[in-house]
Amino acid sequence: MSEKLEKIKKLSDVLGQLKTEFVGLDSIIDEIGKSITPWYITPEVLERPVVISLWGMSGVGKTSLIRRLLELLELQNSLISVDCGSEAGDNDNRSISRRLYDYFMVDEVDSENRNNERTIFIFDEFQHARFIDESGCEVRNQSIQPIFTLIDSGKLEFTEICDYDL
């Protein structure tokens, strides 16, 4: 069986498994499956990042679903998870940049354990990334700004990374 056919079968099996583990989310799992199929089966044809937004109340299983999907696809080593809620209150405006830099600029031994071409980002509590204040003005959180560039272009540009701990 060709590699692409094997991936199609694996993705189908994984989506079926998720439906047994996350009861009542069948239509959401189907939508996620449709969204990631080109990314998973033929990533070489994509020019932009695949962005999937899951909205819902806290605690309904959005993050657990994606983490389990990655585990079943054996891609959990390609994951960077950012809690935008905690980052929103972070005074170090370089924290996300530092984490991304540390992830991608690893030594070669570590890089063999991840497929950097297939990096998956979870931006949990994303509503904290930008919001409108009481007067209707946009409030921008500088610590979260690198996320918007990444989502837009799929590319990371590292400027000087500074360590402010002296």
Q: Quick one: average pLDDT of 6-13?
A: 96
Across 2-6, 134-138, 147-151, least confident range:
147-151
Local confidence band at 65 (pLDDT 50, 70, 90 cut-offs) = very high
3-state secondary structure of 72: helix
Average the pLDDT over 82-109 and give the result: 62
On the question of pLDDT at 52 being above 90, the answer is no
- φ/ψ (deg, to 5) at 132: -105, 130
Closest to 158 measured CA to CA, from 106, 101, 112, 116: 101
User: What is the per-residue pLDDT for 40?
Assistant: 93
Nearest-CA neighbor of 83 among 146, 49, 131, 126? 126
Q: What does the pLDDT look like over 102-115, one tens digit per residue?
A: 766 664 445 444 44
| pLDDT at residue 60, rounded to an integer | 84
Q: What are the distances in angstroms from CA 134 to CA 51, 86, 138?
A: 29, 21, 10
| Whether 120 contacts 75, CB under 8 Å | yes
CA 46 to chain centre: 16
**Percentage above 70 pLDDT, the chain:** 66
- Judge whether 87 and 125 are in contact, CB under 8 Å: no
Measured CA to CA, the distance from residue 98 to residue 24 in angstroms comes to 38
Is the pLDDT higher at 9 or at 150?
A: 9
